[in-house]
Amino acid sequence: MRFSTKAIHVGSEGTQDAAGSVNVPISMSVTFDQKRQKEKFEYGRTANPTRLALERNLAALEEGKHALAFSSGMAAITTLMTALKQGDHVVCVDDVYGGTYRLFSEILMDYGLRFTYVDGTDLKKVKKAVNKDTMMLWVETPTNPLLKVVDLKGIAAIAKGEDLISVCDNTFASPYLQQPLKLGIDAVVHSTTKYLSGHSDVLGGAIVTSDGELHEDLQFAQNAMGAVPSPFDCFLTLRGIKTLAVRMDRHCENAEDIVNFLLKHPAVAKVLYPGIPTHPGHGIAKEQMADFGGMVSFVLKEPARAEKFLRSLEIITLGESLGAVESLIDHPASMTHASIPPEQRAARGIGLGLIRLSVGIEDIEDLFEDLGKALEA
């Protein structure tokens, strides 16, 4: 089966009720009749039929053997970090999702984990940051919000050589555009809140891996810690996934048009998008991604005008999150990345003029008009 067919069918086929429902039934039951059941379910935190359908689907989309679904992306990431023990060291890309950075630096460091942040585009620096206590390499690509591209094959090779767990947060690309496990990465995490569910109406997270031992440990942690999604959330996520392929095609098409529009606009100093041939990661993106994605970042010539610009938009919504049918725009310095200390933010290149746009699937002419008017406001 190919991608779109899997997205629509995998998971739904195993859970047929007496009526032959085409969609996975939302099984709200928390406990299961041990004498009457055909499949083994015990208690809703441990496993649930609707969640299992989503987990099968996610494993298929990432071409992994196992998947676990969680109540949010952060719940998935927190659970994955239980693979590490006190004293373990993690090498993490410096341009990591703000919430991941906050979890690592403000919570997990108190439990004895240690982190080094490096520019993930420089594999020599990544390798140099590995020490005798290092157990994990954590990457995102394209990164947030600077859309840098990390060479996943290169990261996987370093991890294999040093016997580390390699993790890729694949939220920005989605499995439609990038499948890190096929490139040798050990575990993929997702905020399914974003492209996978796609409609800004359900929070969720996932871990996908083909490593049976890691999966068993994480499944134990999922049950022990309990950050599981509701059956209704799983249903909504599965419903979103059915249209992932067509949505992603339109996200990419619209993003490319917006990039060309912004590149020509006099109020814009710089456009960051892996699809631009002069982008430093363009070559690697072309190799490891099917297309360049729906996220576009750009820098205004006059950072002081950022607020006026953002407040003047009428169709594009000023808000956090990304990956949904509606276009969402973000000012990282004051919104999604505000929890990073200002000096570090500046050092990482997240200035006051930086804007992150999650290009939606609206009519492109409406997006051009909205951006054009606001840039001239």
Shortest spacing between CB 201 and ligand PLP, in angstroms: 12
Residue 53 or 96: the one with the smaller Cβ distance to ligand PLP is: 96
Residue 136 or 374: the one with the smaller Cβ distance to ligand PLP is: 136
Query: Would you count residue 73 as binding ligand PLP (CB under 6 A)?
Result: yes
Residues 77-106 binding ligand PLP (CB under 6 A) are 97, 99-100
Taking alpha carbons only, the member of 195, 320, 286 closest to residue 248 is: 195
Whether 94 sits among the annotated catalytic residues: the reply is no
Q: What is the DSSP string of 51-91?
A: HHHHHHHHHHHTT-SEEEEESSHHHHHHHHGGGS-TT-EEE
Taking alpha carbons only, the member of 304, 294, 295 closest to residue 269 is: 304
Element (H, E) at 134: strand 134-140
Bridge partners for 68 per DSSP: 207
Give counts: helices (H), strands (E), the chain. Answer: 14, 12
Task: Select the residue interacting with ligand PLP from 55, 62, 169, 370 (CB under 6 A).
Answer: 169
CB 329 within 8 A of CB 308: no
Element (H, E) at 280: none
Shortest spacing between CB 267 and ligand PLP, in angstroms: 27
Whether 88 sits among the annotated catalytic residues: the reply is no
Distance CA 74, CA 291 (A): 26
Whether 169 sits among the annotated catalytic residues: the reply is yes
Query: Would you count residue 74 as binding ligand PLP (CB under 6 A)?
Result: yes
Query: Would you count residue 72 as binding ligand PLP (CB under 6 A)?
Result: yes
110 phi, psi to nearest 5 deg? -70, -15
Q: Tokens 């060291």 correspond to what residue?
A: 89
Could you give the C-alpha distances from 328 to 65, 99, 208, 310, 356, in angstroms and in order?
Answer: 33, 18, 27, 11, 8
List the catalytic residue out of 88, 94, 95, 97: 97
Distance in Å from the first CA to the final CA of the chain: 50
Task: Select the residue interacting with ligand PLP from 12, 50, 121, 171 (CB under 6 A).
Answer: 171
Binding window for ligand PLP (CB under 6 A); candidates: 14-22, 59-67, 187-195, 255-263? 187-195
Residue 140 or 151: the one with the smaller Cβ distance to ligand PLP is: 140
**Per-residue tokens: 353:** 């003029």
Query: Would you count residue 236 as binding ligand PLP (CB under 6 A)?
Result: no
CB 376 within 8 A of CB 313: no
Query: Would you count residue 297 as binding ligand PLP (CB under 6 A)?
Result: no
Residue 134 or 191: the one with the smaller Cβ distance to ligand PLP is: 191
Residue 227 or 352: the one with the smaller Cβ distance to ligand PLP is: 227
Residues 106-145 binding ligand PLP (CB under 6 A) are 140, 144
Distance of CA 257 to the CA centre of its chain: 23
Residue 15 or 105: the one with the smaller Cβ distance to ligand PLP is: 105
Binding window for ligand PLP (CB under 6 A); candidates: 72-80, 214-222, 261-269, 356-364? 72-80
The helix-helix angle for 98-106 and 73-80 (nearest 10°) equals: 40
Query: Would you count residue 237 as binding ligand PLP (CB under 6 A)?
Result: no
Residue nearest to ligand PLP (CB): 73
Task: Select the residue interacting with ligand PLP from 44, 145, 154, 205 (CB under 6 A).
Answer: 205
Distance of CA 32 to the CA centre of its chain: 33
Task: Select the residue interacting with ligand PLP from 194, 215, 247, 251 (CB under 6 A).
Answer: 194
List the catalytic residue out of 94, 95, 169, 233: 169
Whether 97 sits among the annotated catalytic residues: the reply is yes
Task: Select the residue interacting with ligand PLP from 141, 191, 210, 358 (CB under 6 A).
Answer: 191
- Residues with catalytic function: 45, 97, 169, 194
The site for ligand PLP (CB under 6 A) is made up of: 72-74, 97, 99-100, 140, 144, 169, 171-172, 191, 193-194, 203, 205
